C-alpha cells in the first residue's frame, strides 16, 4: 500500500508497532520487492531506492571511505497549565535529511530541509568535499533491516486530540491542590512527540524506526509561615496515548507533594569531607555525568578521558557492574536502532570492577577494532552522530540499604539532584542537591537542602564501598547535552555508599 506523507502521519508505522511479522533481514535491489514497512517510509519521505543510491554515489564521488543518509520527520506537541487552567499549546514539525561522509577520521556533513533529488544531491556534493580523490562509487545491493521493537504503541499520539489530553493535565493540577492546603501554585506540562527516521548508507543498509516520546511534569509551590518552597516531579517514556492514566497522575502528584514538604524545616550539614549515601534512582545522574561521559569512546580515542589507558584494568570494587543499555521496553533512552543504523546492545562498561567497554559510534569502533555498541546518536538530521549514552545504570549490589546507612557515623543521604558541572577530562564534578537527609550515628535524622557535592568521578567510583540490592530506574525527563546536541536519556542506581566526598554546608 502506498502512503502519502499526510496519510502516513495517521497510519504509518502500524507494522512497526507489531501488526505485521516479517523476516528481520531482507536482501533486495531495484527489481526486488521492498517490505511494506520500509516501503511506507520511502513513500513518506517521497524517495525511492534509486534516489538513495544516486545521493550516496554523489556523496562518495570524491573518494570518501563511507557515507550515510539520515532522514527524519518529527511531530511535537506541548500543553501547559498555569493558574488552574490549560492556557498554552505549542506544536512543531521538523523534516529533512542529513548527509555524512567519512574520510579517515575526518567528517563532511550537510543537510537539507527538503527531500527532492536535486537538493539532496547538492548537500551530498558539499559533504563529499571532505575528500579529494574523485572516483566512481560502485553500488552494492540494498540490505533492508527491520529492527526489533522496544516501544510498542497501543495508540499513536497522532490519533489523540487535544481535547482528550487536556483533562489529564487538569487532573494533575487539581490533585496536587487537593493533597495539601499549603500548595499555592501549580504548573503542569504534557509533551508528546512522534519521530519517523530512515537510514541508508554506502554499504547498502536500509532501515527505519518510529520513535514515540511522552512526558508529564508538574512544578509545585508551597507556603508555610511565610516560607516558600518548590519542587518538581515528572515521568517520561517512549509510549503512545496509553501513557496517560489516573495512576500516573496520582504517582507524580504524591511525589511532588512529598518532595516539596521535605524542604520545610530542612537545614544544611557541616561542610567538609564526609561519607555520602546516594539514594536509589535519581542519584544515577552522578553516575551518568561524572562517570558515564568519561566512558564515551571519542573522549578516550582523543586521550581526553582519565579512562583512556584503563581498559581491562580494575577501576572499582569487584561487586560494581555498570551497564549501558538501549533496549529497556518503553524507556526514554531506548532505541530500536541507533542513528547510524547499528543494532542496539546492552553492554557492560564496568564488569566486576574492571573497565570492560567504551561507548562507541562507528568512528570509534573502527578505531578500536570492535563492533559498534549502538550508541551513535544525534539530536536531529541537522547533526552528525556522536557516541552518546542511552540508559546508564549500576546493577544491584550485595548489601542492604539499612546496612549502608547504619555504617555511617556522620554523613549525608542524597537522592534529589537538580544540576551540576563536570570536567570530562579530569572527571571533577560539582552537583547541586535539592534535598536529602543528614545521617547521624547510623540513622537518617534532619532533612537537608540546597547543598553542593564536590568530587572526582573516577575517584568516587573507586570509593564506592557498598551497594544495595534496591536498584531503581529514574524515569524522569532527563536530557543529556554534549557537543551542542541534546538527546533523551535515562539512568538508574541502587543505594550506594561513597566513603568520602566534599559536601558544601555550614561552617564547622
The residues with which 209 forms a beta bridge, in sequence order, are 197
**How far is CA 482 from each of CA 3, 296, 422, 486, rounded to the nearest angstrom?**
36, 11, 12, 7
pLDDT given for residue 507 in this prediction? 65
Q: Using one digit for the tens of pLDDT, what is the confidence trace for 234-292?
A: 999 999 999 999 999 999 999 999 999 999 989 989 899 999 999 999 999 989 988 89
What radius of gyration do the chain's Cα atoms show?
A: 25
The torsion angles phi and psi of 281, rounded to 5 degrees, stand at: 100, -105
| 3-class secondary structure, 368 | helix
Please check whether residue 151 is in contact with residue 187, taking contact to mean a CB–CB distance below 8 angstroms. no
CA–CA distance, 56 with 27 (Å, rounded to integer):
18
Q: Using one digit for the tens of pLDDT, what is the confidence trace for 443-496?
A: 999 999 989 999 999 999 999 999 999 999 999 999 999 999 999 999 999 999
Sign of CA dihedral 385, 96, 485, 286: negative
Among candidate residues 368, 365, 357, 298, the one with its CA nearest the CA of residue 323: 357
Among candidate residues 357, 381, 383, the one with its CA nearest the CA of residue 371: 357
Angle at 9 between CA 6 and CA 12, to 5 degrees: 115
Q: Quick one: DSSP state of residue 269?
A: P
pLDDT given for residue 508 in this prediction? 53
Q: Quick one: DSSP state of residue 342?
A: P
| 3-class secondary structure, 414 | strand
CA–CA distance, 25 with 210 (Å, rounded to integer):
18
Q: Quick one: DSSP state of residue 494?
A: -
Which residues of the chain are modeled with pLDDT < 70?
Answer: 1-33, 507-508
CA–CA distance, 413 with 431 (Å, rounded to integer):
14
pLDDT given for residue 314 in this prediction? 97
- For every residue of 197-229, DSSP letters joined together read EEEEETT-EEEEEEEEEEEEEEEEEEEETTEEE
% helix, strand, coil for the chain, step of 5: 25, 40, 35
Q: Using one digit for the tens of pLDDT, what is the confidence trace for 200-243?
A: 999 999 999 999 999 999 999 999 999 999 999 999 999 999 99
Among candidate residues 349, 282, 342, 353, the one with its CA nearest the CA of residue 313: 353
Chain center to CA of 319: 26
- For every residue of 21-50, DSSP letters joined together read ---SEEEE-TTSPPPHHHHHHHHHTT--HH
Residues 6+ apart with CB under 8 A from 24: 145, 146, 148
Q: How many CB atoms lie within 10 A of CB 244?
A: 21
Question: 28-39: buried (b, 16+ CB within 10 Å) or exposed (e) per residue?
Answer: beeeeebbebbb
| 3-class secondary structure, 431 | strand
Please check whether residue 330 is in contact with residue 239, taking contact to mean a CB–CB distance below 8 angstroms. yes
Residues 6+ apart with CB under 8 A from 224: 182, 264
Antiparallel, parallel or unpaired: β 183-201 and 205-224 = antiparallel
The torsion angles phi and psi of 115, rounded to 5 degrees, stand at: -120, 30
pLDDT given for residue 18 in this prediction? 31
CA–CA distance, 383 with 327 (Å, rounded to integer):
23
CA distance between the termini of the chain = 73
CA–CA distance, 368 with 157 (Å, rounded to integer):
41
Amino acid at each position: 500500500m502506498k502512503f502519502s506523507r499526510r496519510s502516513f502521519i495517521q497510519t504509518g508505522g502500524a507494522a512497526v508497532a507489531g501488526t505485521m511479522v516479517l523476516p528481520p533481514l531482507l536482501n533486495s535491489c531495484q527489481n526486488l520487492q521492498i517490505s511494506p514497512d520500509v516501503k511506507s517510509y520511502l513513500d513518506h519521505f517521497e524517495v525511492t531506492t534509486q534516489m538513495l543510491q544516486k545521493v550516496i554515489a554523489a556523496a562518495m564521488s570524491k573518494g570518501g571511505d563511507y557515507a550515510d543518509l539520515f532522514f527524519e520527520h518529527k511531530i511535537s506537541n506541548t500543553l501547559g497549565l498555569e493558574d488552574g487552567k490549560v492556557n498554552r499549546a505549542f506544536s512543531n514539525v521538523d523534516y529533512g535529511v542529513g548527509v555524512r561522509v567519512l574520510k579517515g577520521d575526518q567528517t563532511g556533513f550537510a543537510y537539507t530541509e527538503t527531500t527532492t533529488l536535486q537538493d539532496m544531491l547538492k548537500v551530498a556534493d558539499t559533504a563529499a568535499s571532505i575528500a579529494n580523490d574523485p572516483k566512481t562509487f560502485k553500488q552494492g545491493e540494498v540490505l533492508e533491516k527491520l529492527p526489533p521493537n522496544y516501544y510498542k504503541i497501543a495508540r499513536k499520539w497522532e490519533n489523540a486530540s487535544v481535547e482528550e489530553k487536556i483533562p489529564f493535565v487538569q487532573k494533575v493540577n487539581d490533585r496536587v491542590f487537593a493533597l495539601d492546603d499549603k500548595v499555592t501554585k501549580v504548573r503542569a506540562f504534557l509533551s508528546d512527540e512522534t519521530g519517523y527516521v530512515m537510514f541508508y548508507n554506502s554499504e547498502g543498509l536500509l532501515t527505519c524506526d518510529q520513535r514515540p516520546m511522552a512526558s508529564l511534569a508538574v512544578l509545585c509551590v508551597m507556603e508555610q509561615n511565610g516560607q516558600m518552597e518548590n519542587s518538581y516531579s515528572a515521568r517520561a517514556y517512549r509510549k503512545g496515548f496509553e501513557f496517560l492514566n489516573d495512576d500516573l497522575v496520582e504517582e507524580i502528584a504524591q511525589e511532588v507533594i512529598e518532595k516539596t514538604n521535605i524542604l520545610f524545616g530542612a537545614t544544611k550539614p557541616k561542610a567538609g569531607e564526609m561519607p555520602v549515601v546516594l539514594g536509589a534512582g535519581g542519584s544515577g545522574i552522578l553516575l551518568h555525568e561524572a562517570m558515564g561521559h568519561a566512558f564515551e569512546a571519542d573522549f578516550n580515542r582523543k586521550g581526553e578521558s582519565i579512562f583512556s589507558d584503563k581498559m581491562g584494568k580494575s577501576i572499582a570494587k569487584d561487586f560494581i557492574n555498570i551497564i549501558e543499555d538501549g533496549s529497556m521496553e518503553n524507556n526514554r533512552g531506548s532505541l530500536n536502532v541507533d542513528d547510524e543504523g547499528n543494532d542496539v546492545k546492552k553492554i557492560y562498561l564496568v564488569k566486576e570492577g574492571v573497565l570492560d567497554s567504551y561507548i562507541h559510534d562507528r568512528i570509534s569502533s573502527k578505531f578500536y577494532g570492535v563492533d559498534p555498541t549502538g550508541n551513535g546518536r544525534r539530536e536531529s538530521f541537522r547533526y552528525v552522530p556522536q557516541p552518546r549514552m542511552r540508559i546508564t545504570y549500576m546493577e544491584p549490589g550485595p548489601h542492604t540499604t539499612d546496612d549502608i546507612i547504619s555504617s555511617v557515623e556522620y554523613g549525608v543521604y542524597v537522592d534529589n539532584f537538580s544540576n551540576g558541572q563536570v570536567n570530562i577530562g579530569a572527571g571533577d564534578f560539582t552537583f547541586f542537591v535539592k534535598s536529602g537527609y543528614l545521617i547521624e550515628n547510623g540513622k537518617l535524622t534532619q532533612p537537608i537542602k540546597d547543598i553542593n557535592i564536590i568530587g572526582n568521578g573516577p575517584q568516587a567510583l573507586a570509593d564506592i564501598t557498598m551497594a544495595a540490592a534496591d536498584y531503581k530506574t529514574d524515569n524522569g525527563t532527563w536530557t543529556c547535552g554534549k557537543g551542542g546536541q541534546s538527546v533523551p536519556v535515562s539512568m538508574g542506581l541502587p543505594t550506594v555508599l561513597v566513603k568520602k566526598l566534599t559536601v558544601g554546608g555550614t561552617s564547622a
